[in-house]
Structure 1
Amino acid sequence: MIRYSPKSARAIGYLKQFYNDIEIYVEDTASPNTHLLICRRILGPEARLTSVTPLGSKEQVIAACRLDQIEPKRKRLYVIDGDFDLILRRPKPRLRHLYRLRAYCIENLILSETAIEAVCLQISPLSQPPKVHALLDLRAWLTTLANNLRPLFISYAICNEIDPTIQTVGATVYSMCISEAKEPKLETTKVFRRIRAMLRNCRATSSSTDIREVRSRVEEVLSGDIRDLKYVSGKDYILPLLYHRLRNLFELPIRVEQLKVQLAAQYEPSQEPFYARRLRREAGI
């Protein structure tokens, strides 16, 4: 996928103005259509939108936005993921036309129960909604995920604050899974082994007092619904496990990137109402 430099971003947006009523710049280069479909669901038929512009990384998006603080008449929005900044309460750069998602990444927004069940009904058209609902058992599945992944991402956030050079999300989720009924499932012992290893790495570079202080801040942010996984990487941890679950239950005939697009096509703006409000405002709707 082509990615554009911060300096060329405005020029690309200008070239696309004949096809887009608003310029949207994103990090994602692997699946920009996920962003595109989400934006279309938010804007509806009131705005033309044929593409978004991928810039490659959060830093690239912020740099492009910083270079684009004038020209008040142009309609545009630069979108970045929340990542660890949300859970660590790091301030968003004070830039016009910049929006930071209130979730770890864009994939978190498409993982609603309604969207997942709708995709399953498309995959398995002979199945009735009650059967699909019962087979997926998403509430129980998400609760099990949260019991494992929330403590893991607490340790990841602590390490990211103490020493950003420590590898966190880059470790594959499959290394903490066992194969059960043709489906990889998180194994609690492996997850907590990973957590202990992360905290040992932190102690090598920081004091126990500092670690406790960061942990206290993070746990305060995470004091809501136990099933809330918005601070966990949807792209690298939740979506891969969901993909294999759907392959197992419904013989899913598509790749994970195609699943993302199908879920995005079912996106509900209420998943991130602040994003919907900001995007519509920037588009003048």
Structure 2
Amino acid sequence: MLDFSEESKRLVSTFLTYRNDIDIYTEDESKDKEFYKFLFKKILNKTISINDVTPLGCKDNVIKRCIEEPSNGRKKLFIVDGDINIIPGLDIPILPNLFVLDAYCIENLLLDEETIVNFIYHNCATKPIEEIEMELDFQTWLKPYSESLVKLFLHLALVDLFGGIFRLQNANRFHKIVKGSLEFDPDIVEQETNRIKQEILNDDTEEDFDYNLAELESQWSCDTRSLLTIVSGKDYLIPILLIKAQLFKKSKSLPSLEEIKLSLAHFGRL
């Protein structure tokens, strides 16, 4: 399981092998460019000069560019998300100049207790940070999410393992409105998990399913560390953070995903 400070060290170590200046290619869109530039400059702490960051869209685009990019003397690094493949640890591409994150996506690297507390503090702006930390009760807050969503993502990994296709949903779907606020409902997650299991069993044996699920469960416990590593930061963890932040802020206004990512990168300890 991922230690986020260790993952940033791994990334820095990769950068340092290139020395001097470098061109970086990533997933996502042009609107994410400023986030990547800020994040990498913070991680590197001026040890490397970044020529440019070029978002290429999807993961396949980055890998294709990595394979086809001509050698013209410029130093290049291609960075892609770990995605569902990091759960079984299979089919992870290995190419020169390609760096695969040890987390579902780069947004996962932004999320740890200290960063989340600071994010809520600066967005709330009406309570002392110590009070927010106490009210948040980080481990207790994330415990029901860990127990449900890690299991869900293990099942999604099985869909991929058995050759199926899945689509991620926003975490808001697994909440219900209670007294005007969104409240997590693990029963909705369980229903989705059971639906996925049944889809797999339509084409594969229960023996194969149980064996492969047990293998994944031996690698990933239903705890906070697994939650912050293998559950999509973009589609699940950041929406969960926003729901919690709104309770502190007592406001219905929501920042954009780009604003959130830049704020988390700013407050983070990477």
TM-score, normalized by length of structure 2?
0.83
The verdict on how the C-alpha distance between 1:60 and 1:140 changes in structure 2, with shifts beyond 3 A counting, is same
2:208 partner amino acid:
D
- Deviation larger for 205-214 or 140-149: 205-214
Corresponding residue for 2:189?
Answer: 191
- Deviation larger for 20-29 or 46-55: 46-55
Corresponding residue for 1:178?
Answer: 176
1:115-142 Cα shifts (integer Å, max 9, x gaps): 1222233234442121121232222112
The verdict on how the C-alpha distance between 1:109 and 1:202 changes in structure 2, with shifts beyond 3 A counting, is same
1:58-107 Cα shifts (integer Å, max 9, x gaps): 11111111113745x43221011111111021143221110110100011
Separation in 1 of the partners of 2:75 and 2:265? Answer: 23
Contact 2:27 2:59 in 1 (8 A): yes
The verdict on how the C-alpha distance between 1:192 and 1:89 changes in structure 2, with shifts beyond 3 A counting, is same
Separation in 2 of the partners of 1:253 and 1:157? Answer: 31
1:148-176 Cα shifts (integer Å, max 9, x gaps): 101111111111211332x342x332232
Corresponding residue for 1:220?
Answer: 218
2:153 partner amino acid:
F
Corresponding residue for 1:244?
Answer: 243
Deviation at 1:192, TM superposition (A): 0.7
2:217 partner amino acid:
E
- 1:158-173 matches, within 5 Å, as 158-165=158-165, 167-169=166-168, 171-173=169-171
2:121 partner amino acid:
L
Is 1:92 aligned to residue 92 of structure 2? Answer: yes
- 1:116-195 matches, within 5 Å, as 116-165=116-165, 167-169=166-168, 171-195=169-193
Give the secondary structure class of the aligned counterpart of 1:257: helix
Identity %: 27
Is 1:65 aligned to residue 66 of structure 2? Answer: yes
TM-score, normalized by length of structure 1?
0.79
Corresponding residue for 1:259?
Answer: 260
Runs of 4+ more than 6 Å apart: none
1:13-49 Cα shifts (integer Å, max 9, x gaps): xxxxxxx931111111153333222211111123334
Give the secondary structure class of the aligned counterpart of 1:41: helix
Give the secondary structure class of the aligned counterpart of 1:197: helix
Structure 2: segments with no counterpart, 5+ residues: 1-19
Separation in 2 of the partners of 1:34 and 1:164? Answer: 33
Deviation at 1:213, TM superposition (A): 2.7
The verdict on how the C-alpha distance between 1:114 and 1:181 changes in structure 2, with shifts beyond 3 A counting, is farther
Give the secondary structure class of the aligned counterpart of 2:182: strand
- Deviation larger for 29-38 or 134-143: 29-38
Structure 1: segments with no counterpart, 5+ residues: 1-19, 270-285
